[in-house]
Amino acid sequence: MTTHDTFQLKELLTPGTKAVILTHKNPDGDALGSSLGMKNYLDKLGVAAISIVPNSFPKYFNWMQGSDTIINFEQQKEKAIEALNAAEVIFYLDFNNLSRMDEGLKTAAENSVAYKVLIDHHLQPDDIADFVHHRVEASSTCELVYEFITLMGDESKIDKNIGGCLYTGIMTDTGSFRFSSTSAQTHLIASKLIELGVEHTRIHDEVMSTYTVDRMRFLGYCISDKLVVLPVFKTAYIAVTDEELKRFNNKPGDSEGIVNYALSIADVKFAAFFSEREKEIRISFRSSGGFDVNQFARKHFTGGGHAMAAGGKSDLSIAETIKKFVEILPLYQAELAK
């Protein structure tokens, strides 16, 4: 779905305009890459752009240009709200439902009269923006930001710095170009970015070869001690408590990707990772296709995302959450057995 008035937006994105770029909670490579790619592009237009994240992000993204200027809402609430109140244009990147941010940011965004631009690839977008560039088939929001800049007639403004940010999100959201969302268009954009001088090997190492010893041992512990496989439902899950996260000095991003290991087991089509964080259970769902985890997350765990990758949460205890999860599975037995 695309609703364009590029002419109107181009008039707004001129020197001196104040813009704010928002993205989802627990920002990942695509959230940060699209936010900073956009910020660096807006900087080139002379737009005063501020990127705000709801909470902290892994430090292995710190090499991206502009990362040192990001406002972390959790730490700088007043500064963030001030920027939002002054904004004339607000970008919503890599989410399409305001509750994916944080209550405080949601309210400020809702109350703002700024022109809203939504660029995203998650399913079922809410009607929250004036300008929408949304495509579920897109590999990543970074791919869409590339398209957006092109749409604005500014493809030639994309340089190595913007390109490095956009490459990061494309790489992380496609699992290094292996997920089925990777299209010819994805490779075409990646190719153009490499031609601009984007150092793909360095970026891969910066972002992927970043395990601390704690994180590596935590991954090992999850797989050897915590993995539960339910062959009847072709399902595998891992659940960790607050205490276990603390024992391994868990840092933001340390649990990222663990769910994919559960999905790598032959004959497992549905995987889940549960983690207890300050009394709330956060859940990642993955499927290897055929089983719609977006629907599953929306229906049972107040979440959503993509058909093959979604998130959810639960206010129950971790034991009760697992019990609920396991009791729901028989409802999907026919679908999972396919």
In the complex, minimum distance from the CB of residue 94 to Mn ion, in angstroms, rounded to a whole number: 5
Amino acid identity of 274? F
- Classify burial at 1, counting beta carbons within 10 Å of its beta carbon; exposed 0-12, middle 13-18, buried 19 or more: exposed
Nearer to Mn ion, 28 or 254 (CB): 28
CB-based contact 101:74 (threshold 8 Å): no
Piece of the chain touching Mn ion by CB under 5 A; list 23-31, 246-254, 256-264, 330-338 = 23-31
- Classify burial at 277, counting beta carbons within 10 Å of its beta carbon; exposed 0-12, middle 13-18, buried 19 or more: middle
In the complex, minimum distance from the CB of residue 101 to Mn ion, in angstroms, rounded to a whole number: 14
Task: Find where tokens 């022109």 sit.
Answer: 115
Nearer to Mn ion, 173 or 276 (CB): 173
Residue 276 contacts Mn ion per CB under 5 A? no
Nearer to Mn ion, 30 or 292 (CB): 30
Instruction: For the segment 153-212, give every residue that binds Mn ion (CB under 5 A).
Output: 173
Which position among 94, 102, 244, 292 is part of the footprint of Mn ion (CB under 5 A)?
94
Residue 143 contacts Mn ion per CB under 5 A? no
Size of the site for Mn ion (CB under 5 A): 5
In the complex, minimum distance from the CB of residue 256 to Mn ion, in angstroms, rounded to a whole number: 13
CB-based contact 62:56 (threshold 8 Å): no
In the complex, minimum distance from the CB of residue 15 to Mn ion, in angstroms, rounded to a whole number: 30
CA distance 214 to 216: 6
CB-based contact 283:273 (threshold 8 Å): yes
In the complex, minimum distance from the CB of residue 95 to Mn ion, in angstroms, rounded to a whole number: 9
Task: Find where tokens 């512990």 sit.
Answer: 221
CA 292 to mean position of chain CA atoms:
18
In the complex, minimum distance from the CB of residue 304 to Mn ion, in angstroms, rounded to a whole number: 13
Residue 30 contacts Mn ion per CB under 5 A? yes
191-198 contact pairs (CB < 8 A, 24+): 192/146, 192/158, 192/163, 193/146, 193/158, 193/163, 193/164, 193/166, 193/167, 194/167, 196/158, 196/159, 196/160, 196/163, 197/160, 197/163, 198/160, 198/163, 198/164, 198/167
Nearer to Mn ion, 276 or 292 (CB): 292
Piece of the chain touching Mn ion by CB under 5 A; list 30-38, 182-190, 241-249, 266-274 = 30-38
Piece of the chain touching Mn ion by CB under 5 A; list 89-97, 192-200, 201-209, 329-337 = 89-97
CA distance 270 to 230: 10
Piece of the chain touching Mn ion by CB under 5 A; list 8-16, 101-109, 137-145, 198-206 = 137-145
Residue number closest to Mn ion, CB atom: 30
What is the contact mask toward Mn ion in residues 97 to 136, using x (rule: CB under 5 A)?
----------------------------------------
| Crossing angle (nearest 10°) for helices 141-151 and 160-173 | 140
Piece of the chain touching Mn ion by CB under 5 A; list 80-88, 141-149, 224-232, 263-271 = 141-149
β-pair partners for 309: 286
Q: Which chain residues interact with Mn ion by CB under 5 A? A: 30, 94, 140-141, 173
